[in-house]
């Protein structure tokens, strides 16, 4: 499965929405977060994720520039996103320099951006939930690999 | 005192005197004149403060009539006693997001005992263990100020600003947990509590001795917790194991809520009384100097540099440059929040922007100032 696809984020949303026990423990989240992945050809994949309560209610592809309307967005080259998801797939969750917070605080591979500092802070208010959300890719990508090999 | 005809009409068998001879009027049976019959609807996540903010219950007065502990919206007797509150203007304590932040805080509580995978701690090299223990020693010390400070002011806040007081209660619990978790981490891996020197106490005293609550919250929420939020971000980034990563991430979430309250409280305060801005600036003038002293205090800064370097061997090549970069991030975030709060500091701050390579014009463009 390509990581620069709505399909992946749909699967991550489904994983979150099915795992109520985990996300209830982490608590409610209320955030519109965009993900931007720049492709080598100059194009970019953009998706808006709408988190409400303990669910990811919205996964929708957005136009160039529309990420600015989200409360915050995370942006980087698709190759770096791939490295992050590879680390998640390899270890079952992001490790070391590949967590969302570490990536965005270093800022050399993936940047956190927001039109409003309050949106920027929201990324941190819900950080553990967001980390668990992307960490679920370990299972999604593992299933995909199993399907491909089968 | 007698039972009103209106009540007797509905409940004709009510006694007029209690078994011990106290005269009864049953006045509460008449209900509240304006809002009886209101049925707030729970939202998907339950019955939130936002859901029950209906009709007059949603109205938070700018200048409450009473200074008692009576519930806002109740039928309050005229002779209710004055509790001696001194924060009686809504703009003294309010922020537009305070109900949402309270609900968020309640929903996202965690336990330093249960929710940290302590059994996954790994043995670290002595230099890294010492550095982590030093960082945790300092953090355990300074985190409690964010409990003490609201506790100092809460009993002086008019009770009609209930949601603000409730949110500050969650902050007090959050910060108690932070002191707990850093103390536990210092002890849990065979290390212990290390140095405590005067530098951090200077900042803490500046905060706790602020003359007004708005000055105090500017120092605590906007400056202190804003900087600590970025420190927690750094902590997560440099954490040697998943245990520390989890600790810093969970603390970071709490801290970001406190910063969100402070930023919007100051904005609300300044919008309602522009003269407050100068009061806040004066506090931040002193606070920034004290914060700089803490940030450059040898114990914490060297511990951070060692963690950033991954050990004692590459502090100058790796640790210090990374520390400079992260310091730049910290000041940039703080100054952006000041702009959002309506107390732009770009022209006034004495923080060492140039030394950290922060271009004031770039920053101005970034924050739209």
- Identify the pLDDT of residue B257: 97
Calpha distance B188→B286 (Å, rounded): 37
Candidates B100, B249, B257; nearest CB to A101:
B249
Q: Which of B42, B43, B44, B335 to mutate to test the interface with A (most CBs of A within 10 A)?
A: B44
Q: At what angle do helices B276-295 and B320-341 cross, to 10 degrees?
A: 170
- Identify the pLDDT of residue B367: 65
pLDDT reading at B363 higher than 50: yes
Calpha distance B7→A75 (Å, rounded): 66
Q: Which of B229, B237, B251 to mutate to test the interface with A (most CBs of A within 10 A)?
A: B237
Residue B208, CA atoms < 13 Å, CB-side half-sphere: 15
Subunit contact A101:B236, Cβ cutoff 8 A: yes
- Identify the pLDDT of residue B359: 82
Calpha distance B109→A135 (Å, rounded): 21
Structure-block tokens of residue A129:
């939930």
Q: Are B238 and B304 in contact (CB under 8 A)?
A: yes
Q: Write the DSSP assignment of B274-330 as a string of letters.
A: TTHHHHHHHHHHHHHHHHHHHHT-HHHHHHHHHHHHTSGGGIIIIIHHHHHHHHHHH
Subunit contact B104:A102, Cβ cutoff 8 A: no
Q: Where are the domains of chain A?
A: 6-142
Cβ-Cβ contacts under 8 Å between A and B: the total is 84
CATH says A6-142 is which class? alpha beta
Domain spanning B90-367, CATH architecture:
Orthogonal Bundle (1.10)
Candidates B109, B260, B339; nearest CB to A125:
B260
Antiparallel, parallel or unpaired: β A29-38 and A72-77: parallel
- Identify the pLDDT of residue B32: 66
ipTM of this model?
Answer: 0.91
Residue range B306-329: average pLDDT?
93
User: How many Å lie between the alpha carbon of B18 and the closest alpha carbon of chain A?
Assistant: 48
> With contacts defined as CB-CB under 8 Å, which chain B residues touch A116?
340
Q: Which residue of B has its CA nearest to A31?
A: B104
Subunit contact B115:A25, Cβ cutoff 8 A: yes
Q: Is A115 exposed, middle or buried (0-12, 13-18, 19+ CB in 10 A)?
A: middle
Residue range B311-332: average pLDDT?
92
- Identify the pLDDT of residue B361: 82
Q: Are A101 and A133 in contact (CB under 8 A)?
A: no
Calpha distance B80→B356 (Å, rounded): 56
A53-62, B16-25, B348-357: lowest mean pLDDT where?
A: B348-357
Subunit contact A101:B109, Cβ cutoff 8 A: no
User: How many Å lie between the alpha carbon of B207 and the closest alpha carbon of chain A?
Assistant: 22
- Residues B67-104 as b or e (16 or more Cβ within 10 Å = b): bbebebbeeeeeeeeeeebebbbbbbbbbebbbbbbbb
Backbone angles phi, psi at B256, to 5 degrees: -65, -30
pLDDT by 10s per residue, chain A, length 150: 899 999 999 999 999 999 999 999 999 999 999 999 999 999 999 999 999 999 999 999 999 999 999 999 999 999 999 999 999 999 999 999 999 999 999 899 999 999 998 999 999 999 999 999 999 999 988 776 655 544
pLDDT single digits (tens) B167-222: 999 999 999 999 999 999 999 999 999 999 877 788 888 889 999 999 999 999 99
Residue A148 or residue B286, greater confidence: B286
Q: Write the DSSP assignment of B200-256 as a string of letters.
A: HHHHHHHHHT-SSHHHHHIIIIIIIHHHHHHHHHHHHHH-SSHHHHHHHHHHHHHHH
> With contacts defined as CB-CB under 8 Å, which chain B residues touch A120?
333, 336
B46 beta partners: B43
Candidates A99, A121, A122; nearest CB to B245:
A99
Q: Which residue of A has its CA nearest to B335?
A: A117
Q: Which of A118, A129, A134, A135 to mutate to test the interface with B (most CBs of B within 10 A)?
A: A118
Q: Which of B96, B108, B367, B368 to mutate to test the interface with A (most CBs of A within 10 A)?
A: B108
């Amino acid at each position: 499965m390509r990581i620069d696809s709505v399909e992946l984020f749909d699967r991550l949303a489904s994983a979150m929405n099915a795992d109520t026990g985990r996300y209830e423990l982490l608590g409610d989240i209320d955030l519109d977060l965009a993900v931007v992945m720049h492709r080598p050809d100059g194009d970019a994949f953009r998706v808006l994720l709408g988190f409400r309560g303990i669910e990811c209610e919205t996964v929708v592809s957005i136009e160039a520039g529309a990420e600015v309307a989200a409360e915050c967005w995370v942006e980087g080259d698709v190759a770096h996103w791939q490295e992050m998801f590879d680390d998640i797939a390899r270890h079952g969750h992001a490790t070391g320099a590949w967590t969302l917070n570490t990536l965005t605080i270093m800022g050399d591979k993936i940047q956190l951006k927001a039109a409003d500092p309050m949106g920027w802070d929201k990324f941190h208010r819900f950080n553990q939930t967001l980390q668990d959300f992307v960490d679920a890719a370990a299972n999604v990508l593992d299933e995909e690999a199993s399907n491909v090999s089968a | 005192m007698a039972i009103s005809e209106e009540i007797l009409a509905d409940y004709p068998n009510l006694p007029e005197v209690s078994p011990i001879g106290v005269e009864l009027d049953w006045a509460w049976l008449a209900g509240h004149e304006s809002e009886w019959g209101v049925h707030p609807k729970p939202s998907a996540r339950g019955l939130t403060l936002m859901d029950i903010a209906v009709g007059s219950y949603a109205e938070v007065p700018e200048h409450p009539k009473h200074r008692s502990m009576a519930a806002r919206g109740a039928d309050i007797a005229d002779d209710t006693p004055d509790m001696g509150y001194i924060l009686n203007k809504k703009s003294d304590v309010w922020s537009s997001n305070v109900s949402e932040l309270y609900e968020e805080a309640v929903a996202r509580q965690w336990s330093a005992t249960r929710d940290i995978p302590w059994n996954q701690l790994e043995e670290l090299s002595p230099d890294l263990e010492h550095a982590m223990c030093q960082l945790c020693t300092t953090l355990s010390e300074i985190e409690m100020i964010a409990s003490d400070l609201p506790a100092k002011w809460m009993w002086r806040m008019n009770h009609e600003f209930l949601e603000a007081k409730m949110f500050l209660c969650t902050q007090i619990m959050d910060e108690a947990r932070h002191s707990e978790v850093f103390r536990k981490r210092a002890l849990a891996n065979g290390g212990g509590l290390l140095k405590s020197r005067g530098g951090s106490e200077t900042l803490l005293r500046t905060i706790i001795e602020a003359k007004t609550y708005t000055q105090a919250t500017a120092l605590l929420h906007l400056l202190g917790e804003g900087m600590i939020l970025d420190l927690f971000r750094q902590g997560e980034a440099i954490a040697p194991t998943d245990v520390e990563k989890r600790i810093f991430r969970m603390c970071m979430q709490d801290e970001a809520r406190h910063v969100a309250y402070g930023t919007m409280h100051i904005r609300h305060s300044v919008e309602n009384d522009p003269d407050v801005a100068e009061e806040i600036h004066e506090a931040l003038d002193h606070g920034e100097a004290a914060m700089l002293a803490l940030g450059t205090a040898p114990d914490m800064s060297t511990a951070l540099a060692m963690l950033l370097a991954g050990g004692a061997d590459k502090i100058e090549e790796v640790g210090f440059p990374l520390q400079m970069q992260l310091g730049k991030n910290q000041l940039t975030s703080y100054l952006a929040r000041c702009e959002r709060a309506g107390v732009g500091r770009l022209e006034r701050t004495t923080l060492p922007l140039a030394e950290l390579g922060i271009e004031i014009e770039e920053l101005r463009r970034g924050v739209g100032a």
